[in-house]
Structures are given as structure tokens and as C-alpha cells.
Structure 1
Amino acid sequence: MNPKLKLLAEGQGGVFSRGQAADCGYTPGQIHDRIRDGRWQRIRYGQYAEAADLSHLTPWDQQGQKHRRLVHAVMNSMRPGSVAVSHQSALALHGVTLWGLDLAEVHLSRLDRHRGGRIAGVRHHRGKLTEADLTVVGRLPATTVSRALFEMACTSSFEAAVISADAVRRDHPISTDVEQRLLEATEFWPGSATARAALQFSNPLSESVGESRLRVLMQNHGLPTPLLQVAFTDADGFVGRVDFYFPDLRTVVEFDGLVKYAGATSESLVQEKLREDRLRALGLQVVRITWADLDHPARVVARIRQAFARS
């Protein structure tokens, strides 16, 4: 990509239009060749980006990155001042973790009198946005993190809402005043009960998608509420910080995501085993849950309850 087009694309989330490529000196044939050989990717009709290797990212982060490009591609064709990026699309722009959501559509909130609805893969929303609800992300008008979270949580599953709410609580803390204002503004929205429940359940100490999903699973099956990120020591000093601890039942539950051990050495795995042995020596039951286990909730709950019984 020539320097002129590269600089232009960098200001648009990596995305550029066919017309912009032509203005920067590319002929129709050159554009066609770059798309055909994979150097450029078609993001949306008439909108392109350089090919990017996302294999080092988690599946949900790959989806988030692709969605951000799609958002920029859509906004490149919108009339300035007519819309703001909203809902999960705004959360993606803000870099908030998304899981369990349909990211095929871009969500926009109208700032003009245009009607809502779905048009060409874009979901247009009608709603009252105040100045406090709006910000700018990467030169794009968008709803704030807190507003976008409420918007998304009212239209998603409880699990998906908790995952993003945990991430927002952790990385973009919401003030009490802002939360109260949004609770009042969304009180009668469809799905507001799910949003409220997810926000109340959210916890900034949840450090990953897997931990958030496991918390929801345990809560759905009526397990006691665990403490999160509890540190343990023994006679030799610091043992480690565990994901979940049930103090009354002397049980530790750890979530082992596949990402956690990506590229892990045999030495690090041995150290993890020794850490677990030291936890058991403290009289604790230790249960390890993996991504694959989350597909079998009853089995997960049975293992945890068995640990409770042993304790």
C-alpha cells in the first residue's frame, strides 16, 4: 500500500474505499489484482483493508477486530452527523470484550429524523441520545462505553451481557451517578430486566471470558457465591491467587482456558502442578474447569458439588 493510502486508512480503522484507493493512484486493475491475490480484503461493498493475520488472537477478539473494520466501512458511507455507532458495535470500538453476540450487523443510533430498521446489514436504532451519551472513538461518533453496555445488555442474553459487563467494570469503571442515570433512562426498555440483572451480577475481578461464563454457569445452577481472586500463602510464602474460592466449603475452582497455556513450556506446567499440590496441602479441594467442560454444565456442577462433599 502506498504511503498516501496507508496514512488515510490508518485514520479510518484500517479501512478505505475504492474511490479513495483510486484517488491515491490505484487503477481498477491494480485494485482487482490486490483483492484477488489476498493482499487486500473486501470488508463491505466498495470498502477494503489490507489483509491482517489475526491468528494470535482469541476467537472472540478476532471477531471483535473484524467487526471494528466493518463498523469503519459502514461509517465511511454514512452522511456525517447522521448517526452514532452504538450497542455492541460501539463496545467493539471501545475495545470491550464481546462474546456470544451476532456481529454480522453494525448497530447505529440515528441522530437525525431517519427511521430505524435494518438496511443492507446495518441495524438503525431510534432513541434519545444526550450529550452525555456520546463520545468520539477513532474519529467516529459513538455512544459512551456505559451507554453502549446498557444498549447491548437490553438486546442480548444474560451470559453475553455479564461477559461484557465484567470487562467494562474492570477496564472502564462506571460512576454511580452515570449508572443511576442510565438505569432510569432504560427502565422501560424491552430487555431492561436482563440488563439490570447482568449489571448487578457483574464483577470487575472476573479476568476472562471463561471465568465470566463459569460464574454464570455456577449461578444458574444454584451454587453458593464464591469469592474471586483470593490469594493463599503457606509456610514457604505466596502460593498463588485462585479464580474462585468457596470459604465455607474449603473449595477452590480454577478455570483453565486454552489461551492460558498457549505456548506454555513444560517447566511452567510443572510449576502449575506444584502450585496445585501446595493448595491441596492447605486442606483445600481443587477443581479445574476447561473450555470443553463449559459445554457440559451438569457435569461441571456435579464435580464442584463432589468437591464440596469431600471438604
Structure 2
Amino acid sequence: MSAARRTASHPLLHAGASEDSTQASQSFTRAVDAGRLLRLRRGVYIDPAAWLQAPPWDRHLLATAATRLAAPGSVICRETALAVHGVDQLRVPEAVHLRTWRRQEAGIRPAPRLVGRAGPDTVGALLASSDGPLKGPRRRRPDTADLAGVPTRRVLASSAMRQAAETLPSPATVRRPLPDAGEHRLHDLEILVEPLGLVLADTLPRMEVTDAVVVLDSVRSGRWASGHRLTPADVEPWTPLVRSRRGSRRWASAWARSDSGAESVGESLTRLRVEDLGFETPETQVEFVLPDGRTARVDLFWRSAGIVGEFDGWTKYTRNGVLGHRDVSEVVYEEKVREDGLRALGLGVARFIWTEAQTVELLRQKLVNAGVPRA
């Protein structure tokens, strides 16, 4: 396969980029059947290692990039649009979401079979040759579930969108670069996506409140592509799209429970679970001056009990953007020194991990043991 067929800065191969697209497509198809490539979309391929070693959220972005190459004029919406805008989400989108204004086009379409006509032996050898994706603190061997593609869901514009089509803020779509997928650069690929205000008004009322709050925490704290701290006034022009009573209740509840101080998905989830379990709602991002003169900003703080809560996601100890040039052991040591400093101030410290944030009984017991007060 010619390197000229690969866009230099991202891992996808596009048959349509070749001068002889038919010959390129045939060559790529043979490579898929032999287990040397995977087919993400018609005419768009990827090296198996790049796919298998990517975590689920990066696979979704890679599938979105493949959709952009296969159908350049498509407009991204819903949860996929949130991902393109760089907004944190609690769950990986289950499909690449595209907007349609034609009822007959709406619905979900399965992804092409990533391995083409490759037989069981070829697929087994392909899986055996990969170290697999990083999932939490441990790597695991990949299995056939990792070769499931990301489907496409075409979402019909709502009646409210249709009625407001001429009055919606302009532009109806914006062009922005895709976020990078882990170590893979995608940002040279621009994509058509609905504006964030429209995406929020169209998506949040359909989400569970917890998922919606995680999204709002992200945009209110500036943790998205623009870095702007979104306010209710920023999305007010789009609120007429929220018409159902159920959607309006979820919209209002999510805004009321969101917090512009939240700095991670795990922190947001922990705070919400704490509230749902009937414990006192903590303050977020409170600063303390430690005995050595340094300042420590903590994730959660129960002032009435003098208890600090810290969420420890695995990202803190693995991502280069967090580690910088430091070794993991240095980060762990610094966290220990920081915690000792907080305890020296007479504060209690409770640390939470993903398993506890996601498991009600584990979190309840941790809160009780730490002495967190009831609401």
C-alpha cells in the first residue's frame, strides 16, 4: 500500500484519495481480508493495531473521522457533536450521529464488518498480534468484541427544529477540527457540526440527568474546545427547542445541579452520587495553604465536617498531559505529601476511585466511614 494514500497526520487510509480509487479499493479490500487492515467505513481503512490499542472514546472519534472522509458533507449532531466540540461525557456515544431532515433516512445503520471476509484463523491471528487497548490500570488481550465497529445513526430534525429553522442563530452548522484520538492526530480534518448551544438543547433533555449534568459541568467550567465558560445566557437562544414537559424538567434539573467548578467527569459523578445518597452536597475546588506554604486545591470539601474528598482517576497517573516529564512514582509521592499536608491542617481526607463512584453501596460505605454528614 502506498504511503501516499494515507493522510500524513492521521492513521486513516482513504481509497478515494488515490488517483485510481477503484484499484486502491481492491487493494485495500484484499488487505482487510488478509487481516492487515480494518474497514471503518466504505473506502476508509485503518491499521488494526491503531484501532485495537485505542480506548473506546478514541475509537468513536476515529469512526467519526472515517465518516467525515466517506461522507464529507454530513453534519454531526447529538452526543457525537458533543465529542467533536471536546465536551466531556460520562459514556462513549453508541454511534456516530448525523443530522437528517428526511424521515426516510432516519435510523441506525450498522458499521461495515471491520474484518471483511477474513476467516476465523485470520481474525484470531490479528487479535493475538495486538497488546490490546488500555482499559484502566491494566492492559488486556483484545477479543472479537473489540472488532465491533461503530454504527451510524441518522437523527431526524425535531418538529421544533423544523419550525424554527429560519430563526435559529446562524450559522446552522459550523466547521471545526476533530479532536485528536489519543496519540493519533485528527485535528487537520475539519467537520461540519451543529453549534454547541443547539447540541445542548437537542441532546440534554433526552439524557439521564446524571449524564446531562456531567456535560454541563464540562461546558460551564470551560472544559471543551473553545475554553469558554458557558452560561445559561449563552444557550438561551436555543431553549425554545426544548418543548416537552419531560425534557424541560430534565433541562432545568441538570442546570440546577451542575457546577462550574468541576474539573473532571469522575469528580462530577462522585458529587452527584453523594447527593443522590442523601449526603451533604460538597463545595468544589476549595483552596488550602499547606504547612509548607504551598496551595492545594481539592476536588470536594464538606466544610461542616472538615472533610476533603479527592477523586483519583487513572488518567492522573497515566496520561502524558498530566504527568508532563515526571515519572508515575513522582506523581504518587507528590499526592502523598499533599495529603499529609491537608491532614496536618486537621482535615480528614477521603479518596474516591471509579469503582466507588459507579457502585452505590461502595460509595455509601466510603462516605459513612469518612464521616461525611447527611444532608
Q: TM-score, normalised by structure 1?
A: 0.81
Q: Secondary structure at the match of 2:285?
A: strand
Matched with 1:208 is 264
8 Å contact 2:43–2:70 — kept in the other structure?
no
Q: Secondary structure at the match of 1:229?
A: strand
Matched with 1:140 is 191
8 Å contact 1:239–1:279 — kept in the other structure?
no
Higher strand share: 1
Matched with 2:155 is 124
1:31 positional shift: 1.3
Matched with 1:71 is 64
Is 1:160 matched with 2:211?
yes
Distance 2:200 2:77 in 1: 9
One-letter identity of the residue aligned with 2:96: V
1:288 positional shift: 1.0
Distance 1:294 1:309 in 2: 15
8 Å contact 1:287–1:307 — kept in the other structure?
yes
Match of 2:294 among 238, 262, 268: 238
Unaligned runs of 5+ in 1: none
Distance 2:246 2:104 in 1: 19
1:39 positional shift: 4.9
Is 1:109 matched with 2:99?
yes
Matched with 1:286 is 349
Distance 1:69 1:266 in 2: 32
Matched with 1:96 is 87
Matched with 1:199 is 255
8 Å contact 1:88–1:149 — kept in the other structure?
no
Q: TM-score, normalised by structure 2?
A: 0.68
8 Å contact 2:87–2:218 — kept in the other structure?
yes
Distance 1:49 1:160 in 2: 31
Q: Secondary structure at the match of 1:71?
A: helix
8 Å contact 1:165–1:198 — kept in the other structure?
yes
Q: Secondary structure at the match of 2:341?
A: helix
Distance 1:227 1:274 in 2: 23
What aligned pairs does 1:257-276 form with structure 2 within 5 A after superposition?
257-262=313-318, 265-276=328-339
Q: CA RMSD in A?
A: 3.2
The percentage of counterpart residues that share the same residue type is 26
CA distance 1:280–1:33, change in 2 (3 Å): same
One-letter identity of the residue aligned with 1:5: R
Distance 2:331 2:284 in 1: 23
CA distance 1:55–1:173, change in 2 (3 Å): farther
CA distance 1:135–1:260, change in 2 (3 Å): same
- Residues 34-92 of structure 1 show CA distances to partners (whole Å, capped at 9, x for unaligned) of 335655321134432345647887xxxx3333223323434545584xx5210011112
Distance 1:201 1:309 in 2: 19
Is 1:41 matched with 2:29?
no
Matched with 2:121 is none
CA distance 1:41–1:156, change in 2 (3 Å): same
What aligned pairs does 1:77-88 form with structure 2 within 5 A after superposition?
77-78=70-71, 80=73, 84-88=75-79
Unaligned runs of 5+ in 2: 110-151, 178-189
CA distance 1:29–1:188, change in 2 (3 Å): closer
Distance 1:211 1:54 in 2: 29
CA distance 1:98–1:229, change in 2 (3 Å): same
Higher normalized contact order (CA 8 Å, seq sep 6+, divided by chain length): 2
